[in-house]
């Protein structure tokens, strides 16, 4: 083969390679642009839609799931997208909220982030276990393992977390042991796990309040502090006066006076309470009627806030023995029964005037 023929063949070969490279480049450019278009393709998301990925979800399984949920249309290049964009190919198991997801890229970014959907449940200051249980039953995407259990059965499920003196109590109730706060949870969490978190916080908070309490409190153990804090919680929602209210109860306990507090009567009435306390209710003996019994009731009557616990741990130094509502949301405090009766009459007069209005 002479040089001229060789050079001609080389020229044709180079031209063929160039054309081949050009075709590959064009195909790559088209593929890249198509993949980018696919990444930015809108997805079909419903309002408040959730998507659950099981463990071991591969690209093929993910594609099938998204098709099944009608989130994306049939697209044979979806697997290619995951190969060419490896940052999208490490999806994590979990349940995701698709709120705010607009494109396939948004969706894949979310599924690779592992940021599962979050829901919130609020336990409010002053609630009873009955109210807490109702909130748990109504919480969305929460596994309900406590729903059909009695209060005693629920108590026994958590009793190992509670101090020994509470476990020995004849009244098996979680009243008082739920720490009021907002709790976040992911879908398919259990109500048991959520309650456990709340009880743990209350136990730690109570232990701290008891350890740092004033030395001369007429309380025998932390549980009595929890009971009294629950009464203070129900008597006033005004943080600034809780220390003064706690002082009234502490002073009465020291003086061996009955506590005579309406919230305990209401708690003891149970379902029979219809919004009013009558004279016969104040005279009817129940374990919680502090107009009849001496000292504290046997259990908390509600879940106290940390603020109420601290008010009991460090009550104001006063000589008040009575208080009554003042008509403005707060209370008027008195040192003697004569002062108190006068304050009661002023409050009743205020009630009559406002009722007429």
- What are the tens digits of pLDDT across the range 145-197? 998 999 989 998 998 888 775 555 667 889 999 999 999 999 889 999 999 99
Please give the mean pLDDT across all residues of the chain: 85
pLDDT of the residue at 40: 78
Portion of the chain with pLDDT greater than 90, in percent: 46
Look at the block and give the residue holding tokens 């009849």. 292
Contact 244, 333 (CB under 8 A): yes
Helices (H) and strands (E) in the chain, counts: 14, 8
Contact 51, 67 (CB under 8 A): no
Q: Which residues pair with 96 in a beta bridge?
A: 51
Q: Is pTM, for the whole model, over 0.85?
A: no
Place of tokens 């994590």: 92
What's the confidence (pLDDT) of residue 159?
A: 87
Residue with the bigger pLDDT between 204 and 74: it is: 204
Token pair for residue 324? 């009554």
Is there a contact between 178 and 198 (Cβ–Cβ < 8 Å)? yes
Return the residue matching tokens 């009459």. 345
């Amino acid at each position: 083969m002479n040089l001229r023929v060789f050079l001609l063949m080389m020229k044709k070969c180079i031209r063929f390679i160039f054309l081949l490279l050009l075709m590959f480049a064009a195909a790559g450019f088209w593929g890249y642009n198509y993949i980018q278009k696919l990444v930015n393709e809108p997805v079909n998301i419903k309002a408040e839609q959730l998507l659950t990925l099981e463990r071991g979800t591969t690209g093929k399984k993910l594609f099938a799931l998204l098709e099944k949920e009608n989130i994306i249309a049939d697209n044979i290049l979806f697997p290619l997208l995951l190969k060419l964009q490896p940052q999208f190919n490490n999806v994590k198991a979990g349940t995701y909220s698709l709120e705010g997801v607009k494109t396939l890229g948004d969706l894949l970014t979310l599924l690779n982030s592992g940021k599962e959907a979050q829901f919130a449940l609020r336990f409010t200051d002053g609630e009873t276990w009955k109210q807490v249980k109702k909130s748990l039953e109504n919480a969305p995407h929460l596994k309900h393992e406590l729903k059909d259990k009695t209060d005693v059965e629920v108590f026994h499920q958590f009793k190992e977390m509670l101090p020994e003196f509470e476990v020995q109590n004849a009244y098996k109730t979680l009243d008082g042991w739920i720490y009021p706060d907002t709790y976040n949870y992911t879908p398919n969490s259990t109500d048991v796990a959520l309650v456990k978190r709340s009880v743990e916080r209350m136990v730690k908070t109570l232990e701290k309040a008891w350890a740092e309490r004033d030395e001369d409190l007429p309380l025998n153990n932390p549980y009595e502090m929890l009971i009294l804090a629950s009464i203070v919680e129900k008597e006033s929602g005004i943080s600034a006066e809780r220390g003064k209210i706690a002082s009234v109860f502490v002073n009465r306990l020291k003086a061996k006076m009955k506590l005579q507090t309406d919230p305990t009567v209401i708690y003891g009435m149970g379902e029979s309470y219809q919004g009013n306390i009558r004279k016969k209710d104040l005279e009817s003996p129940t374990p919680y009627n502090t107009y009849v019994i001496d000292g504290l009731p046997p259990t908390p009557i509600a879940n106290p806030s940390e603020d109420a616990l601290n008010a009991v741990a460090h009550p104001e130094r006063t000589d008040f023995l009575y208080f009554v509502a003042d008509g403005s949301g707060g209370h008027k405090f008195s040192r003697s029964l004569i002062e108190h009766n006068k304050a009661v009459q002023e409050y009743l007069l205020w009630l009559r005037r406002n009722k007429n209005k």
